Amino acid sequence: MIVAVEARGLGKQYRRTWALRDCTLAIPEGHVVGLVGPNGAGKTTLLRLATGQLTPTRGTIRVLGEPPAASPAQLARVGYVAQDTPVYARMRVADHLRLGSWLNHGWDNELAQRRIRQLGLDPRQRAGSLSGGQRAQLALTLALAKQPELLLLDEPVASLDPLARREFLRSLMEAVAEHGTSVVLSSHLVTDLERVCDYLIVLVASQLRVAGEVSSLLASHRRLSGPRRDPSTLPAGQDVIEQSHTDKQSTLLVRTGEPVRDPAWTVTPVSLEELVIAYMNPANDIPARRPRLGVAS
């Protein structure tokens, strides 16, 4: 399994605050990775570290096996769309495509032109007068047409209306289907996650809360509800991620490697959205992962 992005103890400090702290993960290639977290959690910092726009204060990061922006060859393998999809306001759409062809060896001009046509963008229009959705699509076109192995997208749909958002994701998924591109897509929204992502990373307050394949995360988490119970009485191997109690009833979200057999509990599966929200809630104390022996992932 080739690792698309690998971080070890990665941290970034600005003056006195840590934008990202002690982040260790290994994102496999061939996935669409959802990088989720509230605003200011460190998602943008992680992506900017991955594109070489920032250098780490601590730890290391490797993208496609090399340090970020290490060489023109490595730059060519990674596509990036920054937050707010910056474009050159006074340059025309066609000029942006020319920029792409001049600055990228692996530029597929046919693909770029076709996308612009399909999207209905006027090549002679200045990029500054495009709508938010059109700008995002232009930025995505630029990133896709250089034919990268890995696409890093920083909140590309955050300020788009639902239709523009759906169109953007559709374009993205079509590119993944056609070229097998790996994608890391950051967002502070949890909608569209399950439909698009098959790998999940949750960042909260500059720290990593969870990282893993969506299918194994869904398989290893359960909602338990039953009569009021102290969570510390749960057997080992069942980690409580979230809990709420009334005087008569307890509802727990647990992470477990094995089926829950205690008949006192009503066991229901957890949707991806509920799982993400539980991990995003800073009030929840996430217990450390046990060694890999017990947990299937």
249-256 vs 221-227, strand pairing mode: antiparallel
- Selected from 114, 170, 228, 290, the binder of other proteins by CB under 8 A is 170
CA 282 to chain centre: 19
- Closest CB 232 distance from other proteins, rounded Å: 26
Q: Using CA atoms, how far apart are residues 155 and 139, in angstroms rounded to an integer? A: 12
Q: Which of residues 3-22 bind other proteins (CB under 8 A)?
A: 14
* 82 is a site residue for other proteins (CB under 8 A): yes
Element spanning 109, H or E: helix 109-119
Structure tokens at 27: 């994102």
Using the 8-state DSSP alphabet, how is residue 233 labeled?
G
* 86 is a site residue for other proteins (CB under 8 A): yes
Question: What's the chain's length in residues?
Answer: 297
Q: Using CA atoms, how far apart are residues 100 and 97, in angstroms rounded to an integer? A: 5
- Selected from 17, 55, 129, 131, the binder of other proteins by CB under 8 A is 55
Burial of 235 (0-12, 13-18, 19+ CB in 10 A): exposed
- Selected from 7, 87, 200, 260, the binder of other proteins by CB under 8 A is 87
Of 59-67, 109-117, 129-137, 213-221: span binding other proteins (CB under 8 A): 213-221
Q: From 48, 47, 83, 80, select the one nearest 157 (Cα to Cα).
A: 83
Of 95-103, 201-209, 227-235, 284-292: span binding other proteins (CB under 8 A): 95-103
- Closest CB 228 distance from other proteins, rounded Å: 21
For 177-265, strand residue ranges (E) read: 182-187, 199-204, 207-213, 221-227, 238-245, 249-256
Of 138-146, 204-212, 235-243, 282-290: span binding other proteins (CB under 8 A): 138-146
32-36 vs 182-187, strand pairing mode: parallel
- Closest CB 169 distance from other proteins, rounded Å: 5
- Selected from 218, 229, 251, 277, the binder of other proteins by CB under 8 A is 218
Residue ranges binding other proteins (CB under 8 A): 14, 30-32, 51-55, 69, 71-73, 75-76, 78-80, 82, 84, 86-89, 91, 95, 98-100, 102-106, 139, 142, 146, 166, 169-170, 173-174, 176-178, 194-198, 215, 218-219, 259, 268-269, 271
